[in-house]
Structure 1
Amino acid sequence: MKQLIISSINHNLNNAIALLDAIDSNTYKNTSVGPYYSSIGSHIRHTLDFFDCIISGLDSNNIDLTARKRDETLSTDKKSAINYIYQLQETLLSYVDVNTDYLINVTDNMGQGKVTVNYTLESILSHANSHATHHYAIIGYILDHLKVEIKINGFGYNPTSPVNKREGI
């Protein structure tokens, strides 16, 4: 199962690379779309931060999703984001043969303070992949508002969405 999860994440990350290859730097950094005025780059950075928290916390068995690095270079420099994604994909592949028969402490802020719950590696990676898809959907709205048309099949859609409604951006 872990191999399928990692393969799915890497496919999703490949879609991010395809997007970054298809847009120019100004589009990547554009913050003109309300109501939040966030850029595509900030959403890419945010999704990568989530994965970084997982990787950073695995050895100590304490993943803190509130301890994001927020490296603004990833928000503003497409090439840095692409290189980070390639490194992330390599790291994820190294987890295929790792023993995961234990629970991992994962801390997040649910809106009323931090809470720590137990996950498996597979469950936190699945959560991170769904989180990325959610932000890809927001990126789709930003692109639409900017009148930038790109087709990446399935980008921003949950795989359980009916196929006739899952065109992608």
Structure 2
Amino acid sequence: MKKRIISSINHNLNNAIALLDAIDSDTYKDVSVGPYYSSIGSHIRHTLDFFDCIINGLDSNNIDLTARKRDEILSTDKSAAIQHIYNLQETLVSYINVNTDYLIHVTDNMGQGKITVNYTIESILSHANSHAVHHYATIGYILDNLGIDIKIPGFGYNPTTPVNKREGI
């Protein structure tokens, strides 16, 4: 199961690389689209932060999703983001044969303070993948508002969305 989850994540991360290869740096950093005025780069950085929290917390068995680094270089430098994705993919592949038959403590703030719950590695990785897809959808909204038409099949859509409604950006 872990192998399939990591393969799915890496497929989605490859879609992010395809996107970054298809847009210029100004588009990556553009913050002109409301209502949130966030850039494509800030959404990419945010999704990478989520994965980094997982990686950084595994050894201590304490993943803190509120301890994001928010490295602004990833928000503004496409090359740095692409390299970060490659490094992340390599790390994720290294987990395929690691014993994960235990519960992992995951801390997050759901709006009323921090709370810690138990996950498996498979469940937190699945959560991170869904989280990335959600942000990819927002990126699609930004691109549409900027009048940029890029086709990456399935980008920003949950795989359970019916195919006739899942065009991608």
Instruction: Provide the TM-score with structure 2 as the length reference.
Output: 1.00
Q: How do residues 33-112 of structure 1 correspond to structure 2 at under 5 angstroms?
A: 33-112=33-112
User: Identity of paired residues, percent?
Assistant: 85
Q: Distance in 2 between matches of 1:65 and 1:21?
A: 28
- Matched residue type, 2:12: N
Q: Distance in 1 between matches of 2:115 and 2:99?
A: 25
**After TM superposition, where is structure 1 displaced by more than 3 Å over at least 4 residues in a row?**
none
Q: What's the CA shift for 1:82? A: 0.1
Q: Distance in 1 between matches of 2:92 and 2:102?
A: 18
Task: Name structure 1 gaps, 5 residues minimum.
Answer: none
**What SS does the aligned partner of 1:158 have?**
coil
Report what 1:132 is aligned to: 132
Q: What's the CA shift for 1:140? A: 0.2
Instruction: Please tell me the root mean square deviation across aligned C-alpha atoms, in Å.
Output: 0.2
Q: Distance in 2 between matches of 1:10 and 1:139?
A: 18
- Matched residue type, 1:102: Y
Task: Name structure 2 gaps, 5 residues minimum.
Answer: none
Report what 2:114 is aligned to: 114
Report what 2:155 is aligned to: 155
Q: Deviations over 1:68-87 (max 9, x none)?
A: 00000000000000000000
Q: What's the CA shift for 1:135? A: 0.1
**What SS does the aligned partner of 2:117 have?**
strand
- Matched residue type, 1:2: K
**What SS does the aligned partner of 2:27 have?**
helix
Instruction: Provide the TM-score with structure 1 as the length reference.
Output: 1.00
- Matched residue type, 2:28: Y
